[in-house]
Chain A
Amino acid sequence: MKRRTFLILAGVAGGGLLIGCANPDRVRARADLRPAPGGQIAMNGWIKLAPDGSVTVVMSKSEMGQGVHTGLLMLVAEELDCAWSSLRMEDAPIEAFYGNLVAFAENVPFREDEHGAVANGMRWMMARLGRELGFMMTGASSSLRDLWLPMRHAAAAARASLVAAVAGHWQCAPAEVQLQDGRFSVADGRAMDFAAAVSHLGAQPAPLGEVTLKSPAEFRLIGQPVPRLEAAAKVAGSARFGIDVRPPGLCYAALRFAPVRGGRVKTFDASKASRLPGVLGVVKCEPEHGGTGAVAVVASGWWRARQALAALEITWDDGPLAGRSTTDLMQTLTEALAEDEGHAFWQVGDADAVLAGSTRQVAADYRAPWLAHTPMEPMNCTVEYRGEAATVWAPTQVPGFARRAAARVLDLAEDKVALEVTYLGGGFGRRLEVDFVAQAATIARAFPGRPVQTLWSREDDVQHDFYRPACVAQCRAALAEDGRIAAWQLKSAGQSIAPGYGPRTAGIPLLGPDKTTAEGAFDVAYAFPAVSVRHAAVELPLPVGFWRAVGHSHQAFFTECFLDECAQAAGADPLAYRLQLLAAEPAQRAVLQLVADKAGWGTPLTPAADGARVARGLALHRCFGSTVAQVAEVSLGEGGLIRVHRVVCAIDCGLAVNPNLIAQQMESAVVYGLSAALHGQIDFDTGRVAQGNFHDYPALRLGECPQIETHIVPSAAPPGGVGEPGLPPIAPAVANALFALTGQRRRSLPLQIPA
């Protein structure tokens, strides 16, 4: 691995770097980005007003269950003071203007508190590149953080324009005009609704100078548990996911993938399959954008297409993963751990020397497996290719990359491809990839004039994923006389995500240490007198991708479990031990204290219904701008069955924009994290993924789901992320509870107790 090399981006697909437009806030106020038909007035890039008084918000983020549409509309309604019911949404166009700045700028391999020239230079470069490249992306728990200011600025500016127009009409000072819930008024009793105010605006509202945002004390909507916009449609079955797109004349494609991930089709004979009833054609698909090669059957219905797959005669090229199995792949990781010194992500003092001189050492090795994402809606994409142009309907987290992939396959300019983002039936990082979009475009290209929906089976989804990388870790600590940690050492080995993702999806090389490999280990809040956190990057012919909470998902398990081991070795209470390591971090302490209070840390627990003993485990983790602590209450059932009864969560996510959605995301992250912690494991057996569906790659079921409570630390700081931060602490909290219960450490995921 190259040491001291840094993330370098170059040769951007689509033509070099667009230098200029340095001020993001000015860039973000552009009104020319949206067509404004039917008398609409585009106030800026985010908001359009219509003569009927409705407010259209230009939506650049994908709704995949996290409630982002509701959250972002709250920001607009708050600053614009329009009626909630007057809000509408339309898809943002694919423009750099709507690029995700936060997720981009954050992607540097340095601790937040590292402010050397290299770290600061990198941050500056990433922020600038983020603005100039403008990648549209929903993920990295970044949406609200990314748009917290731009959306509010846009709404506040629109409000100021309206108020000025109304004041002009009434011939009073703007300061005299009141606006609440879409109704303008002045003290003498004159009043006007939104539609009337819009009519006074004129087609070209004068650009405004500085606008003033509301202070938190003035918020009426932000901070309220506003219900989701789309709740009723989702319950009625009318919400439209990618799989529900039904353009006229639609036909359906099913796939037979190469049996080995990353393999390709050598030869195929479609003569038998083509003769089956309802079959319209057979198309060969190369492994595009990191995917696996396949043969598609297109038919009048998906079932017919799928049934016809068996009649295909195919020979395969298994590709570079041929013959590899979990045991030897893991062996490669453990060898790297032993032999490769890795990249130092966090170094304080000389941890090696302190350890060498210590008589009180704690040592443990941990591991985590590959994982699949399995969002509830299997991969799908619908494409209509019309020769000169195309329409793509995609449940995607990256509309720009998805459109680019489709345009490339269809040999069209990007602006000839219209892309509509549907609702996503879960994303979890799987829909940051565009393999399935390119594949759907390949298939549709063979049927010009006819829309084709390509749909994967669950088996296709489990076996052709971009997996959460497996990781092995070696943890060492030296304890001082008083039991405190004198040196902390964590070294891990596993695959990197960025070097594969950059070229295959974004069309750019991402070089240098991949922050996501060691995040959750090198950016913890604890203070240690001497630290060494290193990661050895391993290359394997196995595609890995971003899985909810990414590196934090396993590094938090290693860190928080090993810390518990240190507390135990020191004879200290796990809560007190952590608090003592956070002496300089009052905000972190507050989260721990809140969870401890709400969970009744240290108080006796009543046994489970069957009389089994229940024990608690604790974990704390910070990521994506937020900190979450969890206490899990766990018992063992028959045959060593791990039962999690209750999980208490405390979160500091800055200002809580919508406590309802925050609680929902805590519940979601705990369940997703528990699915992995108790059941999740992808194995390779001579190149093939051994699991295939929910019977052998199980997800948590309702009967296994604990009671989950969420407590929010009050804060006026800008909002942090909430989609992922609830996930990392759950595995270590449960593992630590298992230790409290059994006296034995479980250092490998998924957690298992032998019967």
Chain B
Amino acid sequence: MIQLTINGEAREVDSADDTPLLWVLRDELNLTGTKFGCGRAVCGACTVHIDGAATRACVTPAKALEGRAITTIEGATDAVAAAVKQAWVELDVAQCGYCQPGQVMATIALLRVTPAPDEAGIDAALSGNLCRCGAYPRIRAAVKRAAALLAAG
């Protein structure tokens, strides 16, 4: 049994100890917002927060996360998350949308630490999140828009 705290709730799952968090979320807990894209930490589709930090759920064993705070896209609801989602919708960022939960989670983690990132900061924080549809120009603009929304309170 693995005991986890996900989106503020205590959850218990009967998964093998080496099971990556991604598959616990998707297959055991039906939290399907977190996506599978590569399985080897090179695409960012599975980005979640562990104690607030952007983390690749596909290569992080769930067992290692006992006692840590796990947040998925479904639980991203604070002021920063709301600003990011608002900016994403305003600028119509999503195309197929498959990578977007990961993009949003990476951006929330960035803005929590760096409320007004510059171009280089955005590139560095988000270059690990692939988008095959090419939403990048709008992602860049939406990160700035979210930062502006947060600055305006």
Contact = CB atoms under 8 A, between A and B. Distances in A.
Interface of A: 63-67, 227-228, 230-241, 243-244, 246, 252, 277-278, 300-304, 307, 374-378, 423-428, 455, 457-458, 660, 664, 667-672, 675, 693-695, 699-705, 707-708
B137 A705 contact: yes
B130 A303 contact: no
Contacts of A300: 27
Contact of A425 (B34, B73, B97, B124): B97
Contact of B92 (A237, A376, A664, A707): A664
B74 A237 contact: yes
Most chain B Cβ neighbours within 10 Å, of A227, A455, A693, A701: A701
Interface string B90-104: 001111111111001
Interface in B120-153: 122-124, 126-140
B43 interface: yes
Most chain A Cβ neighbours within 10 Å, of B32, B85, B123, B129: B32
A660 B91 CA distance: 10
Given A65-B133, A703-B124, A246 B32 contact: yes
Given A237-B74, A301-B27, A458 B85 contact: no
Given A246-B32, A375-B96, A702-B123, A303 B23 contact: yes
Interface of B: 15-16, 18-20, 23, 26-28, 30, 32-40, 42-43, 45, 72-74, 85, 88-89, 92-101, 104, 122-124, 126-140
Contacts of A277: 16
Given A301-B19, A302-B26, 16 more contacts: A234-B94, A235-B97, A237-B74, A246-B32, A304-B19, A307-B16, A307-B18, A376-B35, A423-B97, A425-B35, A458-B39, A664-B92, A671-B133, A702-B127, A705-B137, A705-B140
Contact of B140 (A237, A376, A694, A702): A702
19 contacts: A65-B95, A66-B95, A231-B89, A234-B94, A236-B33, A237-B34, A237-B73, A237-B74, A302-B23, A304-B19, A375-B98, A427-B96, A667-B135, A694-B42, A694-B43, A700-B136, A703-B124, A705-B134, A708-B137
Interface pairs A-B: 4 shortest CB-CB: A237-B33, A671-B134, A234-B97, A425-B98
A423 B130 CA distance: 19
A705 B135 CA distance: 10
B139 to A, nearest CB: 6
Nearest to A70: B92
B96 A699 contact: no
B135 A376 contact: no
A237 B101 contact: yes
Nearest to B73: A237
A457 B33 contact: no
A506 to B, nearest CB: 25
Contacts, number: 183
A243 B32 contact: yes
A252 B30 CA distance: 13
A462 to B, nearest CB: 10
A376 B131 contact: yes
Contacts of A233: 97
Contacts of A67: 95
B73 A695 contact: no
Contact of A376 (B19, B32, B123, B132): B132
A702 B23 CA distance: 27
Contact of A667 (B23, B72, B128, B138): B138
Contact of A235 (B15, B38, B85, B128): B85
A376 B96 contact: yes
Nearest to B41: A695
B19 A65 contact: no
Contacts of B93: 231, 235
A376 B89 contact: no
Contacts of A64: 96
Most chain B Cβ neighbours within 10 Å, of A428, A675, A693: A693
Nearest to A230: B97
A704 B85 CA distance: 24
A424 B131 CA distance: 14
A222 to B, nearest CB: 17
A303 B20 contact: yes
A376 B36 CA distance: 9
Contacts of B45: 376
Most chain A Cβ neighbours within 10 Å, of B96, B98, B135: B96
A65 B100 CA distance: 12
Given A301-B27, A301-B28, A671 B97 contact: no
B96 A425 contact: yes
Contact of A301 (B15, B130, B131): B15
A663 to B, nearest CB: 9
Contacts of B36: 243, 378, 455
Given A228-B94, A230-B97, A693 B23 contact: no
Contact of B100 (A227, A235, A424): A235
B33 A375 contact: no
Most chain A Cβ neighbours within 10 Å, of B16, B20, B34, B38: B38
Contacts of B40: 458, 693, 695
B134 A378 contact: no
Contact of B30 (A228, A246, A660, A671): A246
Nearest to B42: A694
Contacts of B16: 277-278, 303-304, 307
Contacts of A457: 39
B25 to A, nearest CB: 11
Given A303-B23, A694-B43, A705-B137, A236 B15 contact: no
Contacts of B135: 667-668
B134 A667 contact: yes
A675 B94 CA distance: 19
A454 B25 CA distance: 18
A694 B38 contact: yes
A66 B95 CA distance: 6
Nearest to A692: B40
B130 A235 contact: no
A672 B132 CA distance: 7
A227 B32 contact: no
Contacts of B126: 702-703
B70 to A, nearest CB: 14
A376 B45 CA distance: 8
B134 A668 contact: yes
Most chain A Cβ neighbours within 10 Å, of B15, B35, B74, B133: B133
B121 to A, nearest CB: 11
A308 B91 CA distance: 44
B27 A378 contact: no
Given A376-B37, A426-B132, A705-B137, A235 B104 contact: yes
Nearest to A227: B92
